[in-house]
């Protein structure tokens, strides 16, 4: 069956919102393997967008290009009005673009408060003095504790990270990303490895984050996607196959055929 016509985002929904993150003509190949094909996306400020598609569609590759982990062969990436296509990953973080990974990368020997405090003072540029006089960094500690409370981790902030249930470790990774004070947060399967009956809890917390924060998340559980996303982007073969509201995507027969109906995951 041929691909459906492109489903445009609701003009009423985005007309009065600035664009937080955008791509223009983003393309990339590994030799003869095309992993991104002329991708144009606009993520408005405060958006809650989901990125879905079958296995090998290029979802993580797209996030890797947005964050500077991979360099596209052509096209541009914008954070607000600034072109960031050629910036290093750490420079994109400083400008307000943060991400999480499919597999968490945490400080197993630290407790959550220590880990998030380190992230806060790194953002403030004072990490080198942290262990010399911890009392000087009370504001950073309080900020870190506030982030943990927001993510429902306040009751375990002194527990070693290695002892935390995996779902809480996933939330801690999000807390570390929030410590950078991002404008845009990209979540690559934030509930990966978490029992299905607990993944909704993670997204409940994510949904409660500031309305000023723009979110793009990859997720396989369609119940979660349709519950929490205001807009869904479908990738197939490295190209945008369709995008629209959950209702529009659910009604799209082409999307059901290539992804939803076949229950493929990627």
pLDDT digits (tens, 9 = 90+) for 52-92: 998 889 999 999 999 999 999 999 999 999 999 999 999 99
Pairing outcome for strands 48-52 and 231-236: parallel
pLDDT at 265 over 50: no
pLDDT at 154 over 60: yes
Spatial distance between the Cα atoms of 15 and 36, rounded to a whole number of angstroms? 27
Q: What is the pTM for the complete model shown? A: 0.85
Percentage of residues of the chain with pLDDT beyond 90: 66
Residue for token digits 């408005």? Answer: 44
Q: What does the block give as tokens for 257?
A: 């055929």
- pLDDT number for residue 177: 94
pLDDT range class, residue 128, cuts 50, 70, 90: low
Helices marked H in the chain — which ranges?
A: 11-14, 59-67, 89-95, 112-124, 138-150, 166-178, 196-207, 222-228, 246-250, 253-255
CA nearest neighbour of 200 among 165, 227, 164, 230 = 227
Domain ranges of the chain: 1-96+183-266, 106-181
- pLDDT number for residue 262: 54
Domain 1-96+183-266 is in which class? alpha beta
CA nearest neighbour of 171 among 204, 147, 202 = 202
């Amino acid at each position: 069956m041929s691909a459906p016509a492109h489903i445009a985002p609701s003009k009423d929904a985005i007309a009065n919102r600035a664009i937080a993150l955008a791509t223009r003509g983003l393309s990339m190949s590994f030799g003869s393997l095309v992993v991104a094909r002329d991708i144009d996306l606009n993520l408005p400020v405060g958006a809650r967008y989901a990125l879905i598609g079958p296995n090998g569609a290029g979802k993580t590759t797209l996030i890797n290009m947005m964050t500077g982990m991979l360099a596209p062969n052509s096209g541009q990436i914008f954070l607000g009005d600034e072109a960031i296509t050629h910036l290093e990953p750490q420079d994109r973080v400083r400008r307000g673009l943060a991400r999480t990974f499919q597999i968490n990368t945490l400080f197993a020997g630290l407790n959550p408060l220590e880990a998030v405090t380190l992230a806060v003072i790194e953002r403030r540029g004072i990490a080198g003095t942290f262990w010399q006089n911890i009392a000087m960094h009370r504001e950073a500690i309080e900020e870190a504790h506030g982030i943990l409370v927001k993510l429902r981790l306040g009751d375990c902030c002194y527990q070693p990270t290695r002892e935390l249930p995996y779902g809480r470790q996933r939330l801690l990774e999000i807390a570390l990303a929030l410590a950078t004070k991002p404008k845009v947060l990209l979540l690559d399967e934030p509930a990966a490895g978490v029992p299905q009956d607990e993944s909704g809890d993670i997204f409940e917390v994510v949904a409660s984050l500031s309305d000023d924060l723009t979110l793009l998340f990859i997720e396989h559980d369609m119940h979660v996607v349709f519950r929490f996303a205001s807009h869904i982007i479908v990738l197939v073969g490295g190209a945008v196959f369709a995008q629209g509201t959950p209702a529009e995507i659910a009604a799209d027969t082409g999307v059901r055929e290539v992804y939803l109906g076949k229950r493929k995951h990627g």
